[in-house]
Amino acid sequence: MDNRTTIDYFYTAFANGDAERMAGCYHENAEFTDPAFGTLKGENVKNMWRMLLSRNADIKISHDNVHANDNSGSANWQAEYTFTPTGRKVINKISSQFLFQDGKIIKQTDSFDIWKWSRQAFGWKGFLLGWTSFMKKKIQMQANKSLRAFKKLN
């Protein structure tokens, strides 16, 4: 499968709630980075998607603007879901950059406005503190704590 097809396959699997198909798109030495989790490597990348899909039954995923060549690619995607800890509705617009190796995603970097996300997820607390490095670190610590707990259960 070419890299553009891999990106489409990945997001279609995401939209269908199929974490295992998503995981199959990653190289065993994959690295993922975003504002919420920081940097994850290897099996933790796959487990992140498994965890997120297991917790968000109402998630809606769409993607567009997919581009790819032999080594890299990009896409825009949107996630609409209820943030479980607060019960608040979130609409997050994300830009993804990909690097490929051996026909699989070796590196994915997702970018989004953490302040906008935190305002939706946490309400007034996110509005007041979501732009700070303190809040970003706290979000990453909690996200990674949740991932470790998920890993222990599965």
| 113-132 per-position pLDDT tens digit | 999 999 999 987 776 766 77
What pLDDT does 105 receive? 98
- Per residue in 81-110, pLDDT tens? 999 889 999 999 999 999 999 999 999 999
Structural element, H or E, at residue 35:
none
pLDDT of residue 55: 86
pTM for the model:
0.91
DSSP for residue 31: E
Residue 143 has pLDDT above 80, yes or no: yes
DSSP annotation of 132 reads S
DSSP state letters, 47-111: HHHHHHHHH-TT-EEEEEEEEE-SSEEEEEEEEEEEETTTTEEEEEEEEEEEEEETTEEEEEEEE
Percent of the chain clearing pLDDT 90 (strictly above): 77
Q: Supply φ then ψ for residue 27, to 5 degrees.
A: -70, 150
Q: What are 110's strand-pairing partners?
A: 96
pLDDT at position 102: 94
Q: Please report the pLDDT score of residue 139 as a whole number.
A: 86
The whole-angstrom separation of Cα 3 and Cα 15 is 18
DSSP state of 12: H
Domains and CATH numbers, the chain: 3-153 (3.10.450.50)
pLDDT at 24 over 90: yes
By the 8 A CB rule, do 65 and 74 touch? yes
